Amino acid sequence: MIETSVKDNYERPILSLRITLTNRCNLNCLYCHHDGMVRSDDEMTPDEIYTICKIAKKLGVKKIRISGGEPLLKKDIVEIVRKIASLNFKDISMTTNGTLLEKYAKDLKDAGLDRVNVSLDTLDRKTYEHITKKDYLTEAKNGILKAVEVGLYPVKINMVIMKDINQNEIKKMFKFAKKHDIVLQLIELIESENCDDDKFSEDYHYNLDSIEKELSDIASDVHERKFMQGRKKYYINDGEIEIVRPVDNSKFCANCSRLRITPDGKIKPCLLRNDNLVELISHIRNNESEKDLEKIFLQGINNREPFNK
């Protein structure tokens, strides 16, 4: 077992692995990229995910993030978390829409999940239905509160800010988050090439400069997260707000320390590219040796190149 993380050709350490378990989702959010859709029967098994994480651990990966689609649609999600946790990573986290979290939160915590990020863009029912095309706001809120109750700390709310939809709800969301000791992350919308509406970004993009200036003026402290692309966290009246800028920029690329796995078991070296994926799952299903799997992982790492140089 090596002590330090492997670095790519640009001296960026690989500290984190994000595993997309499924592209299935029970919501249909208007800004979703729907990137790389695969059939549900192409999804990886718990044992296959365990093998991937085991190889990643050998190469020095410290943190695992589980995502989707909606990862809680996986009936074996608790088993998956338990298997990953048996490898003793520094941190295991999950991104979820929260609608099924009330049901799973305690079991996930007991299985070894450390924390959750919950995507929730509004506390208004009509706005929620407009964004998600579903009426699951109560379930999402209950899931968040259950995550707080069982100690999936810190719970974070991911709030994508959209022009003329929810930019006026930030104070209300912050009040809710602060009341329950939750970190609020404000996310600036990134343009989606897969959206049917060519004017999507123009219609919905909301620049967070003015909001960040306001936060800077009233914050008691500001912390810059080095390995998170220099994003800033503002401490305000015993609450926390973090600003997440679009990732299509050179600062994000220069500080990127994450490798990704697609739902059908490919290594995705770059968040913003789909033309340099490395096939992995077939090698696992062919029972190739761990040493050979390490070589495939290293190929994926060597394929990493800053999208914005």
Q: How far is CA 192 from CA 125, 200, 204, in A?
A: 25, 8, 11
pTM: 0.93
pLDDT tens readout for residues 191-209: 655 445 557 777 899 999 9
Region 82-101: mean pLDDT is: 98
CA distance 243 to 259: 22
The pLDDT of residue 211 is 94
CA distance 292 to 121: 43
pLDDT tens readout for residues 137-185: 999 999 999 999 999 999 999 999 999 999 999 999 999 999 999 999 9
User: Which amino acid, 114?
Assistant: D
The first and second tokens of residue 5, run together, are: 């993380």
- The distance of Cα 256 from the centroid of its chain, to the nearest Å, equals 14
SS (H, E, C) 79-102: HHHHHHHCCCCCEEEEEECCCCHH
Q: Do residues 241 and 184 lie in contact, with contact meaning Cβ atoms separated by under 8 Å?
A: yes
SS3 label, residue 290:
helix
Number of neighbouring beta carbons within 10 Å of residue 309: 8
pLDDT tens readout for residues 226-273: 655 668 899 999 999 999 988 766 677 888 899 999 999 999 998 888
Domains plus CATH for the chain? 16-302 (3.20.20.70)
For the chain, give the longest Cα–Cα distance: 58
Between helices 137-150 and 101-111, what is the axis angle to 10°? 20
The pLDDT of residue 39 is 59
The pLDDT of residue 229 is 60
The pLDDT of residue 266 is 96
Number of neighbouring beta carbons within 10 Å of residue 164: 9
In this structure, of 2-6, 114-118, 197-201, 282-286, the range with the lowest mean pLDDT score is 197-201
Q: Considering only CA atoms, which of 61, 88, 87 is closest in space to residue 7?
A: 61
CA distance 219 to 206: 22
Tell me the chain's radius of gyration from C-alpha atoms: 19
The pLDDT of residue 226 is 65
β pairing state of 156-161 and 115-119: parallel
Question: Is a pLDDT exceeding 90 seen at residue 303?
Answer: yes
144: phi then psi, degrees, rounded to nearest 5: -60, -45
* Apex 121 CA angle, 184 and 222, nearest 5: 20
Question: Is a pLDDT exceeding 90 seen at residue 41?
Answer: no
